[in-house]
Chains A and B, each alone.
Chain A
Amino acid sequence: MRGNGVPEFREDLLESISNAPGVSGGEEAVRAILAAYARDKVDSLEIDPMGSLVARIAPQASNGAARRRRAGPHVMLCAHMDEVGLMITAIEKEGRARFRRVGGIDPRILPGQAFRIGPSGVRAVVGSLPPHLVSRPDREKVTAAEDLYLDLGARSREEAEAKIGVGDFAVFDTTYEAWGSVRKGKAFDDRAGCAVLASLIQKRPPVPVTAVWSVQEEVGLRGATAAARRVGPDLAIVLEGTASGEAPGAPRDEQYPAMGRGPALTVQDRSLMAHARLLDAIQGAAKRHRLPTQWKRPGIGGTDAGRIAVSGTGVPSAVVSVVCRYIHAPAAYLDVRDAQHTVSLVWRTLESLRKEWP
């Protein structure tokens, strides 16, 4: 716990969930880590029928016990556990594994990339034609994902099938590292949000909170759609790891949001118009506690908040993000100070909602 009553960002947790595999539809390993962490911190913990992890935690009463009566709005905090990856679709006679992408992976980054397949993490590399066998005009082109394959060093179908199977997921073979304030790892979209959410439940929150670590966000915001119906919150704040806009050579005013400049707030993306009054409450909390914020570029991307907002009779919703470079790629970067600021900002917002939200 930090001196000012704000929970501390749990970097240890970010490291372990970043390293764990969790492609959309196969989030079990990540969920197990989060469930073990959350169990003794919350009032109830369940896995819903879609696979999302749902934890309820009542606010603190003055005598330290859980407060029974309603104190402020019931807030759903949501971060998705799943990451983009690959799924094995066929194993060929020569031992090669064909795959399809799960979620948005840019085919430009695939050739030569190392992956870990299945729960046991069988290693493989994405193979493609050697340059001297590629025609000159084709060398300038990106190889379509359909023409690539995973090579696990097997010489036959039998040898490959002893280790992997059709339907297995594959994740980038990347290990978490710390370089100064920068953290490198895979799946920061959205393990950064998952770790921020986990950090927030280290003590009883100022308002009733239901924490949802959702599934299948990258393939259509599915887990949160079902969870929102189940939870029926008064408000929702979605915690994300979002793409940095830093691009060398681009005009300065286009290079936002940027890593290290604080949590990014969403006004609008393809799934959501952020609720104006909730956004005001977040900005107000940032101002009062001198926390840095920046804008996410409007008009692009989409998050679970879009589905939560239109659930039932509607839920005022907003998104607070840790800005990451190179998301949906083998190794993303984030600044650990941004992660702490995100924890602080959401905590301070919850404090203000207890007083201000009708």
Chain B
Amino acid sequence: MSPRSSASPLDTLLPSLSEAYGPPGRETGIRRALGGAIRGLGSAKEDALGNLNLSLGGKGKRVLLTAHMDAPGIIVTRVDPAGLARVSILGIVSAADLIGASVALNGGGARGVIGWDRPKDGKDSREIDPDQLFLETGLGGREAAKRIAVGEVGALADRAERIGELWCGSNLDNRAGCAAIVAALKGSGSPRRKAAGSPRNELHVVFSAQSDLGARGAATSAFGIAPDVAVVVDVAFVGESRGHGDIALGKGPCVGLKEEGYLPHPLALEYVKRAAKAARIQPQWLIRESGGSDARTVRASRAGVPTALVAIPARRTGGPRTLIHAADLEQTVQLIRQIVTTPYTGEKGSR
């Protein structure tokens, strides 16, 4: 680890969230980890989709702050006679990007590494069909058939580490967003009062499930909470934005202006911009043509919810791990803290 000026609570929080088990629909480990991290902040409940809903109370407009906690994984479709588990992909990740990933299987607790059937002609291709992937668990034919069942779900499980100013680890999309929210709520030193506290908003926090399967969890949470305004926290990959050039690592959090199925509501956007200004943060602008966040289902919940998107810049390694910049994460924490302590004044349904 490189020397840094000061220790941050994120130094332990981010790796613990990054390494927690939580493929879409089976977010057991990450839900437990987040449940522990937010203990004492308010009343937390798990719902039918697996979302972790935290109500912090407060008076004023109802503000929903949400980040998805699931991350891509695999599901076993069969175990072949050689003991290799054939898999199907759960969530949004390409087959090529999974090659070499460490995987933790739920249930039996087996671990493995993703390999692939190379084409017989010897040519390597990045256009890989998920059917070519397999999970090598080192268990051998008979033992694998006994211990690995069809339908067992695996999570990416590489260790998180610090490389210079960057964090590197599995599942940082979107454990980075989850960590930012937790750190913002806990505040620097005194929890609640300073951050979410003396709240001039009625604050609800959702760590959503099944986002990678089509933003399913955020949809039902938003329906239940019926917020006046929502702020979605996610990551955005460098190379995705067509805004002012591209987004970059280390240049601060992004505010979403457009993505697939989503445009920000002007009042929600104004709310986040005002908070950024108060926190002296110059956001990067995120405009992406494809790919999206939970913002699209939250925005369309009930009669519509004014929704803004805050995204932490990230870089894909072309493998199972993701890079984010420590300064971006810290600034995102500050921005979220400012957002939840700024009263939302927009009128419901004013546009």
Contacts and interface: CB of A to CB of B under 8 A. Distances in A.
18 contacts: A251-B80, A251-B81, A253-B78, A267-B151, A267-B153, A268-B151, A268-B153, A273-B25, A273-B213, A276-B25, A298-B151, A299-B89, A300-B88, A310-B49, A311-B220, A313-B223, A314-B51, A314-B217
Interface string A216-259: 00000000000000000000000000000000000101101000
A273 B24 contact: yes
A193 B150 CA distance: 24
A300 B130 CA distance: 13
Contacts of B14: none
A315 B77 contact: no
A210 B256 CA distance: 42
Interface string B1-38: 00000000000000000000000111000000000000
Interface string B30-74: 000000000000000001110100000000000000000000000
B239 interface: no
A314 B49 contact: yes
B81 A253 contact: yes
B179 interface: no
Contacts of B296: none
B75 A268 contact: yes
A98 interface: no
Nearest to B225: A313
A224 to B, nearest CB: 15
B216 interface: yes
Contact of A253 (B79, B210, B224): B79
Interface size bracket, B side: 20 to 34
A254 to B, nearest CB: 6
B203 interface: no
A300 B75 CA distance: 12
Given A298-B76, A298-B77, A310-B219, A273 B26 contact: yes
A253 B224 CA distance: 43
A297 interface: yes
Given A309-B48, A309-B216, 5 more contacts: A310-B49, A310-B216, A310-B219, A312-B224, A313-B221
Contacts of B151: 267-268, 295, 298
Contact of B220 (A276, A297, A300, A312): A312
B77 A273 contact: no
B199 to A, nearest CB: 23
A276 B29 CA distance: 14
B77 A310 contact: no
A275 B48 contact: yes
Contact residues of A: prevailing secondary structure: loop
Interface string A255-278: 010000000000110000111100
B75 A299 contact: yes
B244 to A, nearest CB: 36
A234 to B, nearest CB: 9
Closest 8 CB pairs of A and B: A273-B25, A299-B88, A267-B151, A314-B48, A314-B220, A313-B224, A314-B49, A295-B150
B307 to A, nearest CB: 17
B77 A299 contact: yes
Nearest to A252: B81
A316 B217 CA distance: 12
Nearest to B70: A273
A256 B150 CA distance: 10
B79 to A, nearest CB: 6
Residue from A251, A276, A310 whose CB has the most chain B CB atoms within 10 Å = A310
B298 interface: no
B216 A276 contact: no
Contacts of B49: 309-310, 314
B238 to A, nearest CB: 29
Contacts of A268: 25, 75, 90, 151, 153
Contacts of A299: 75, 77, 88-89
Nearest to A310: B216
A267 B47 contact: no
Contacts of A309: 48-49, 216
B50 to A, nearest CB: 8
A71 to B, nearest CB: 20
Contacts of A275: 48
B223 A254 contact: no
A267 B48 contact: no
Residue from B25, B51, B217 whose CB has the most chain A CB atoms within 10 Å = B25
Nearest to B218: A310
Contact of B150 (A273, A298, A310): A298
Contacts of B26: 273, 276
A309 B49 CA distance: 7
B218 to A, nearest CB: 10
A184 to B, nearest CB: 28
A140 B267 CA distance: 60
A317 to B, nearest CB: 8
A315 B48 contact: yes
A254 B216 CA distance: 30
Interface string B318-351: 0000000000000000000000000000000000
Nearest to A317: B48
